[in-house]
């Protein structure tokens, strides 16, 4: 009973700090409990254990099971962190944390999206719901990518550069109303000049912010799920992918982007210059990307682009990669019809 009261008190404190932690519990002690209306809305099952209260889906992914087992083997008590508002995101799973890691999470302002206050502070709140093109909210707390990317680095790339592309594109749409009737992807494929440059940079930055996420949301680490199998199949292992990706990105002359793409059923790594991307150049379906424009890393890494690329792998959003891969791969029925 005391442990449950302590957990509830900690959860209340976390909410007061803006952390939005829902609960935590040792995964080894979970047992099923009744389903509440909140769990029904978020398609999660509440579970009770000796360590406290947690939200859980029917299955915890294998990678997190291994992490939890390793921590417990090392003598650490393991807690499982869940976020119900992320339940609709494909592949979202619990994150095993030690007590010290959990305290660190609770000490920060963790949110699925940046707060209204931070967008106002950065002067971009008017762009969040702007028309015809808007600035997407970030899917992570702005200070949660540290130590790999600082809040200052995120602020300048997002609120200065990314936001400016959105503002400029909307101004161009006022001058030429036909622009407003097209999607970003249509503009990327068909436009040129200033319209293409700004539309493509909005599209590229949108994709980049989805390609990274914080540890709180399972960012970084080894690939998992279908993308891990595909990397093994097409590159022979994760290290080979990292090596090729880092070489393409580090050796890219000037500004641009490095991409993992799916082309003709196989993963590959390609680079594009300035605002261009695989959609424009028909290089394949983008799976992940990193920006090698200096504004993406200069505040934290100065001219040390390779150091930034090493840090990037601690933030990779494998759930996003898996979703893109699933959408790009032909369904089994389609593949069977093609070969028949």
If residue 226 lies in a helix (H) or strand (E), which one and from where to where?
helix 226-235
Q: Is the peptide bond before 132 cis (omega within 30 degrees of 0)?
A: yes
Tell me what pLDDT residue 63 has.
Answer: 64
- Nearest CA to 297 out of 135, 122, 148, 142 is that of 148
Tell me what pLDDT residue 4 has.
Answer: 40
Token pair listed for 42? 């978020």
Q: List pLDDT tens digits, range 190-208.
A: 999 999 999 999 999 999 9
Q: List pLDDT tens digits, range 127-177.
A: 999 999 999 999 888 888 989 999 999 999 999 999 999 999 999 999 999
Tell me what pLDDT residue 217 has.
Answer: 76
Helix 2-16, helix 99-106: angle, nearest 10: 40
Q: List pLDDT tens digits, range 28-37.
A: 222 222 222 2
Tell me what pLDDT residue 50 has.
Answer: 29
Q: Is 290 exposed, middle or buried (0-12, 13-18, 19+ CB in 10 A)?
A: buried
- Nearest CA to 161 out of 104, 209, 231 is that of 209
Rounded distance between C-alpha atoms, residue 212 and residue 60, angstroms: 21
Has residue 259 got a pLDDT over 50? yes
If residue 56 lies in a helix (H) or strand (E), which one and from where to where?
strand 52-56
Tell me what pLDDT residue 36 has.
Answer: 25
Token pair listed for 35? 């389903």
Residues forming CATH 3.55.40.20 domain(s) in the chain? 113-340
Has residue 91 got a pLDDT over 70? no
Rounded distance between C-alpha atoms, residue 331 and residue 328, angstroms: 9
Has residue 83 got a pLDDT over 50? no
Q: At 323, is the pLDDT very low, low, confident or very high (cuts 50, 70, 90)?
A: very high
Rounded distance between C-alpha atoms, residue 197 and residue 188, angstroms: 8
* CATH 3.40.1390.10 fits domain 113-340: no
Least confident of 61-65, 157-161, 255-259: 61-65
Which percentage of the chain shows pLDDT scores above 90?
A: 58
Model confidence, pTM: 0.70
| CA angle, residues 228, 83, 144, in degrees to nearest 5 | 75
- Nearest CA to 187 out of 173, 175, 174 is that of 173
Query: Helix or strand or coil: residue 242?
Result: helix
Rounded distance between C-alpha atoms, residue 172 and residue 166, angstroms: 10
């Amino acid at each position: 009973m005391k442990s449950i009261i302590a957990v509830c008190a900690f959860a209340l404190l976390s909410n007061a700090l803006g952390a939005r932690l829902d609960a935590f519990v040792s995964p080894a002690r979970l047992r099923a409990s009744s389903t509440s209306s909140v769990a029904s809305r978020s398609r999660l099952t509440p579970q009770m254990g000796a360590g406290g209260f947690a939200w859980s889906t029917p299955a915890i992914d294998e990678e997190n099971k291994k992490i939890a087992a390793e921590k417990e083997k090392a003598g650490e008590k393991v807690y499982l962190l869940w976020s119900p508002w992320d339940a609709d995101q494909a592949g979202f799973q619990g994150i095993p944390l030690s007590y010290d890691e959990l305290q660190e999470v609770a000490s920060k302002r963790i949110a699925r999206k940046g707060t209204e206050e931070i967008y106002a502070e950065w002067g971009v709140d008017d762009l969040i719901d702007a028309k015809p093109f808007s600035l997407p909210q970030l899917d992570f707390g702005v200070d949660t990518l540290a130590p790999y990317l600082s809040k200052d680095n995120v602020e300048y790339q997002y609120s200065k550069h990314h936001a400016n592309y959105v503002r400029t594109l909307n101004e161009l749409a006022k001058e030429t109303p036909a622009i407003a009737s097209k999607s970003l992807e249509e503009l990327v494929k068909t436009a040129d000049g200033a319209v293409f440059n700004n539309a493509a940079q909005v599209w590229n930055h949108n994709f980049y912010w989805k390609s990274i996420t914080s540890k709180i949301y399972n960012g970084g680490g080894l690939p998992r799920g279908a993308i891990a199998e595909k990397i093994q199949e097409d590159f022979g292992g994760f290290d080979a992918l990292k090596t090729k990706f880092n070489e393409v990105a580090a050796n890219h002359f000037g500004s641009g982007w490095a991409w993992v793409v799916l082309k003709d059923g196989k993963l590959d790594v390609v680079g594009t210059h300035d605002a261009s991307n695989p959609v424009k150049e028909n290089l394949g379906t983008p799976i992940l990307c990193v920006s090698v424009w200096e504004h993406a890393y200069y505040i934290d890494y100065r001219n040390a682009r390779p150091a930034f690329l090493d840090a990037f792998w601690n933030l990779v959003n494998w759930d996003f990669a898996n979703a893109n891969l699933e959408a790009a791969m032909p369904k089994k029925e389609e593949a069977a019809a093609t070969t028949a």
